Structure 1
Amino acid sequence: MPLDAITFDLDDTLWHNGPVMAHAEPTHYQWLAEQVDALPDAIVRPLTESFPLAEYQRIRASLMARFPLSRGDHSWIRERAMVELLLEHGLSDATAREWARAGFEQFMALRHDVSLYPEVVPMFDAWARRYRLGIITNGNVDVRRLALDHHFDVIILAGEMHAPKPDSRPFLTAVASLGTQPYRALHVGDNWEEDVLAAQRLGMHAVWIDAKNEGERELPPRVYRVTHVRELPGIVAKLDQASL
């Protein structure tokens, strides 16, 4: 049977995410510190002296341990971490929440400053005419802010549904929402465990975007390896041809 649906991961599948996060993480936190330190009733000690970036990251990790069901909801974890450190820094509850929200919005603006691989938009333009397309991500990117949402019939933010990949639920939800069966669907992602094996175990085809060039390995049935998304059309054409 031919493919009739394709789902995609986002980070490090449709763009190179390392530089995005390397910039967003310290930049938004420095912005938050500058705003808090400039408040009229600011604490004498600068925020980054009391809570350097590493401490902010530690608080996020502790929240994941304390709230395991929300460990994949990166938006909630990040904003809650800012609330907790600002409260400990001495801000009132209302002020801490106000600036945590502002800090999170600053992070999200930086988070969406991505450079799509040049092949992505033409690929979606062509495939949207033939396949039902979906997103399954553990991240918190809002594809509406990237002007990509018109390509997709379903968008699954797995962390926000408390079932981050490799949990089967986001895949099954996507397949059902796309009106197909796993064996007629293909998932594309860069993570071997969270994307490739999770989809393959359900009977889906899977393409591993080996962006880090980890090298050849024995591939399970229905799994294909490429090093860049530009190679994907060849795999899709091969799958469709094999089904004829």
Structure 2
Amino acid sequence: MRELDNTFDSATPLGGGIEGVLFDIDDTLVDLRTAAIDAFLAMVDDLLEGVTSERLRFIAEDFADDGAGAYERYMAGEVSFLGQRQLRLNRAFDLVGHKPLSAQSYLRWAEKYESLVKDSWKPFGDVLPHLAALSSWGIPYGAVSNNVEAYQRMKLERSGLTGFAVVIGSDTAGAPKPDPAPFLAGCSQLKSTPGRTLYVGDNPINDVQGAENAGLVAIFVDRESKHAVQSAFTVSNLEQLTVFISQSIDSRE
């Protein structure tokens, strides 16, 4: 794992300055995992009577973490957005020996779940201060996400996150991450050179490898220190990134 330090500028093409920052959204800026767990638990409390609270928590986390691998199938065009969520719910029910919901019951469940999860969207506590710092330094920022652009714009707005010069979705980039297309589309719209653009994300493959392959400088956000080895520069929160960028700016003045 490479932690940010004063060798960062000399080890990357950023000696001439940071021209822009692009972010992943889900679980990098917005705490989607907590929102999904809370909404899931609220929605299954009456459906799974007799299941212990510990077991409910386990399947809620599996649902949020997509233990079914359903989202990748959605990205590949194999299932719809609602379909991938149904696969995750079916797996959760199966883990506690419960029959899946009928098609009609699932649609009602999904509608209520969507409302609850939207109400639970919140940014991590370090996000707003970090974005404010970027704005104060005149560094433009945007987002590149593996979800539909309109949906992700709504997520940012409902989470109170503003100032994004660019929002690229998997539907508008022509391909999802880790393909280089969405990263390069973000740089193009941000008007930043890829080699002087940070990409900040929490997924080792979609975010880190994808950004590096596209020529951006990847910053891996490992909030829970789950990953022992990463080629990218690693931070545990955006406060660390704010401090580094501040020091980097000061060193050039």
TM category, shorter: 0.5 to 0.7
Cα distance change of structure 1 residues 97 and 126 upon mapping to structure 2, 3 Å threshold:
same
Find out whether 1:5 has 2:12 as its counterpart: no
Q: 1:107 to 1:197 in 2, by over 3 A?
A: same
CA shift digits 1:1-21 (9 cap, x unpaired): 321210112333235544332
SS at match of 1:128: helix
User: How big is the shift at 1:162?
Assistant: 6.8
1:143 — aligned with what? 156
Change (3 A) 1:28 1:156: farther
Quote how far apart the aligned CAs of 1:48 are: 6.0
Contact map agreement 1:132 1:153 (CA 8 A) in 2:
yes
Asked if residue 109 in structure 1 is aligned to residue 109 in structure 2, the reply is no
- In structure 2, the residue matched to 1:42 is none
TM-score of the aligned structures, taking structure 2 as reference length = 0.64
Cα displacement string for residues 161-199 of structure 1 (whole angstroms, at most 9, x for unaligned residues)? 673322222211111111122012111112221212211
Deviates more, 1:95-104 or 1:161-170: 95-104
Percent identity reads 24
Q: CA deviation at 1:126?
A: 2.7
Unmatched segments (≥5 aa) in structure 1: 35-46, 83-87
User: Relative to structure 1, is the Cα distance of residues 15 and 62 closer, same or farther in structure 2, using a 3 angstrom cutoff?
Assistant: closer
What amino acid is the match of 2:158?
R
CA displacement, residues 183-219 of structure 1 (integer Å, 9 cap, x when unaligned): 1211111222121221112111121112222466463
1:236 counterpart (217, 239, 245): 245
Measured against aligned partners, the alpha-carbon deviations of 1:35-87 in whole angstroms (never above 9, x if no partner) come to xxxxxxxxxxxx769xxx97xx6xx95976876633697466337989xxxxx
1:127, 1:99 → 2: CA distance? 40
1:31-70 pair list within 5 angstroms? 61=68, 69-70=76-77
1:23 CA drift (Å): 1.5
Paired positions, count: 213
- Classify 1:241/1:195 alpha carbon distance in 2 versus 1 (closer, same or farther; 3 Å): farther
1:166/1:71 CA distance change after superposition, 3 Å: farther
Equivalent-residue separation in structure 1 for 2:71 and 2:127 (angstroms): 33
Q: TM-score, normalised by structure 1?
A: 0.66
Q: Which runs of 5+ in 2 are unaligned?
A: 1-15, 50-55, 90-99
* Alignment check: 8 A CA contact 1:73 1:160 kept: no
- Between 130-139 and 67-76, report the one with greater CA deviation: 67-76
> Alpha carbons of 1:68 and 1:144: their partners in 2 closer, same or farther (altered >3 Å)?
closer
| Cα distance in 1, alignment partners of residues 134 and 108 from structure 2 | 42
Quick one: structure 1 residues 71 and 170, their matched pair in 2 at CA, closer, same or farther if it must change by over 3 Å?
farther
The residue type paired with residue 35 of structure 2 is V
1:134 paired residue number: 142
> Given the superposition, is the C-alpha separation of residues 103 and 191 from structure 1 closer, same or farther in structure 2, using an over 3 Å criterion?
closer
* Counterpart contact for 2:173–2:181, Cα < 8 Å: no
Per-residue CA shift, 1:100-132, capped at 9, x if unaligned? 44443333333x1x3521x32122123124111
Match of 1:207 in 2: 219
1:231 Cα deviation (Å)?
A: 0.1
What's the CA shift for 1:153? 0.6
| Corresponding letter in the other structure for 2:200 | V
Counterpart of 1:24? 39
CA 1:76 to 1:207, structure 2 compared with 1: closer, same or farther past 3 Å? Answer: same
Does the alignment pair 1:195 with 2:195? no
Hey, what's the Cα distance between the residues in 1 that align with 2:166 and 2:79? 19
